Amino acid sequence: MISKPIAVVTGGAGFIGSHMVDLLLAEGHRVHVIDSLVGGRLENLHHHKGNPDLVVEVRDIRDLAANDPLFAGASHVIHFGGIGDIVPSIEHPVDYLSTNVMGTVKVLECARHAQIKKFVYAASSSCYGLAAVPTREDAPIACEHPYALSKYLGEEAVLHWSRAYKLPVNCIRIFNAYGTRSKTSGAYGAVFGVFLAQKLAGKPFTVVGDGTQRRDFLYVTDVARAFYLAAMTDKVNHIWNLGAGNPQPVNRLVELLGGPVIHLPKRPGEPDCTWADITKITRDLGWKQLVPFEQGVANLLANIEYWRQAPVWDQASIAQATKTWFAFLGGEKK
């Protein structure tokens, strides 16, 4: 009997990582998860309880030794582990550089010593800053805040390990992923979590600016499928942009969710539109979007109870939470 291939997923109890675990198990892999639970939740993997093909370890990627047994015999490493959100990165840049850069280096060393077949890195489109749209992979790099810098430097480390150590790698720059199991706690951040908690509490949606700004929203299972294809392809040393290639106005999201709105001041350093040019990933991997925006939002509404314990943000608490953002990106003294 042929043994199942082993895939390691860092951040595998998190938003995208847990959907990656679902897909890998469905495709016949054994999956080893490492997650510090800073952003992830073991609840995201509970539906796999008792599955002998899943191993979950709660640890910090920065504590990994190069010969860590979790990586022994692995054929693939898919690296989502790290910390997100813009405002905390401005306030705690050392934590972000430590986790997202040196944590990535620790994972790379484990992958190198395990002689894996493919390492796929979850990069971020934030590296482009206020980019021209649609944004291609060769667009100028312009990191606007420490989170963007940390993710970009992590990507640079991945590509360096490929050059220096011949580690087979691919990188995917994610634009605006959304879907079930997105983060419910911590810093003020992604629009979906904010809006879903507000809807459950019967509060108005806090729309930044006039709501005409567009985001290249892509449903999480489509994101996971792209990473799977990037792991299984023979192609190496590629960077791909990943979005739907069809940006949606925030007002359209509000319309689909249904509810009253209040408007907040527009924030400095935020693009009016994020829009991935997906020509390359479509051509190279045969990837395509399968979940339309309307269907994705319907899936979220069907699972809205997940956000019941999430903080409910209002005008005053958002103003307080984003004070650093305005100071840092608005041109005031740092």
Please list the residues that pair with 118 across neighbouring strands.
Answer: 76
Residues 154 and 268 in one domain: no
Q: Is 225 domain-assigned?
A: yes
Rounded to a whole number, what is the distance in angstroms from the first to the last CA of the chain? Answer: 61
CA distance 38 to 186: 9
Residue 116: Cβ-neighbour burial (10 angstroms; 0-12, 13-18, 19+): buried
Q: What is the pLDDT of residue 49?
A: 96
Please report, for the domain that includes residue 258, its CATH number.
Answer: 3.90.25
Residues 221 and 263 in one domain: no
At 1, the pLDDT band (50, 70, 90 cuts) reads: low
Number of domain units in the chain: 2
At 327, the pLDDT band (50, 70, 90 cuts) reads: confident
Scanning 239-331, the segments in alpha helix (DSSP H) are 250-257, 279-285, 293-302, 315-321, 323-329
Q: Which residue is it, tokens 């840049």?
A: 93
pLDDT tens digits along 310-325: 899 999 998 898 888 7
Residues 74 and 189 in one domain: no
Residues 253 and 132 in one domain: no
pLDDT tens digits along 105-124: 999 999 999 999 999 999 99
Residues catalogued as catalytic: 147
Residue 251: Cβ-neighbour burial (10 angstroms; 0-12, 13-18, 19+): middle
The structure's pTM equals 0.96
Compute the average pLDDT of residues 244-268: 94
Q: Check pLDDT > 50 for residue 216.
A: yes
Residues 69 and 155 in one domain: yes
3-state secondary structure 62-91: HHCCCCCHHHCCEEEEEECCCCCCHHHHHH
Q: Is 333 domain-assigned?
A: no
Scanning 182-249, the segments in alpha helix (DSSP H) are 191-200, 220-232
Domain of residue 135 covers 6-177+217-242
Residues 40 and 120 in one domain: yes
Take residue 321 and report the two structure tokens written for it. 């939470």
Q: Check pLDDT > 80 for residue 54.
A: yes
Sign of the alpha-carbon torsion through 274, 121, 81, 143: negative
Average confidence score pLDDT of the chain: 94
Q: Is 285 domain-assigned?
A: no
Residues 82 and 167 in one domain: yes
Q: What is the pLDDT of residue 330?
A: 75
pLDDT tens digits along 120-177: 999 999 999 999 999 999 999 999 999 999 999 999 999 999 999 999 999 999 999 9
Residues 125 and 268 in one domain: no
Residues 145 and 171 in one domain: yes
CA distance 174 to 197: 24
Q: Is 118 domain-assigned?
A: yes
Q: Is 304 domain-assigned?
A: yes
Q: What is the pLDDT of residue 334?
A: 42
Percent of the chain with pLDDT over 90: 86
At 186, the pLDDT band (50, 70, 90 cuts) reads: low
Q: Do 307 and 184 touch, CB atoms closer than 8 A?
A: yes
Please report, for the domain that includes residue 103, its CATH number.
Answer: 3.40.50.720
Residues 20 and 147 in one domain: yes
One-letter amino acid of 249: P
Q: Is 259 domain-assigned?
A: yes
Q: Is 282 domain-assigned?
A: no
Residues 59 and 192 in one domain: no
Q: Is 80 domain-assigned?
A: yes
Residues 127 and 171 in one domain: yes
